[in-house]
Amino acid sequence: MWRNIVESDRPQMTMCSMRFTCWTPKATNTHSDYVIIIAFPLQQGLRNRASMLRYMYIACLVLVIGFIHSLVLVIGFIHCLLLVIGFIHCLVLVIGFIHCLVLVIGFIHCLVLVMGFIHCLMLVIGFIHRLVLVIGFIHCPAGECRN
């Protein structure tokens, strides 16, 4: 901000003063604070523009550093999100592995059931075979029915 200062007891003179303010977010666990960075000229009443440009350059550097700091905070937040997503991905992989184990155990259980069913069929066939032998023995005693 440029301003002209006129004092009654002194001759009119022009004083230059500039203030730069930068608000940079600061990450905390509970809330967001703001860091105020203010660049003041080292001398009051600077008259040449080269000196003012130097202070403007410093203020711009402060603004750039604040912007870079904000970017670093955002990148850190994104990094944390990616770590959480990676952890969730690992959990999903573990759950998928457990699911595959359950499917394999289910398949083995089905095989056991099929083998049990085949065993039952063999018992029934064996029972029918013995029943046919007994009926045949009763029907043809002592080998009378042989051809």
Place of tokens 């203020």: 59
> Three-class SS of residue 70?
helix
89 CA to centre of own chain: 8
3-state secondary structure of 122: helix
Q: How many CA atoms lie within 13 A of 83 on its CB side?
A: 6
Query: Strands, E, within the chain: which ranges?
Result: 2-5, 13-16, 20-26, 33-39
pTM greater than 0.85: no
pLDDT reported for residue 85: 97
Neighbours of 73 (CB within 10 A): 14
Q: Which of 36, 37, 69, 39 is nearest to 57 (CA)?
A: 39
Q: Dump pLDDT digits (tens) for 2-41.
A: 455 555 555 444 444 444 444 445 554 454 444 444 444 4
Give every residue of the chain whose pLDDT is below 50, as ranges: 1-2, 11-24, 28-29, 31-46
Residues making up the chain, counted from first to last: 147
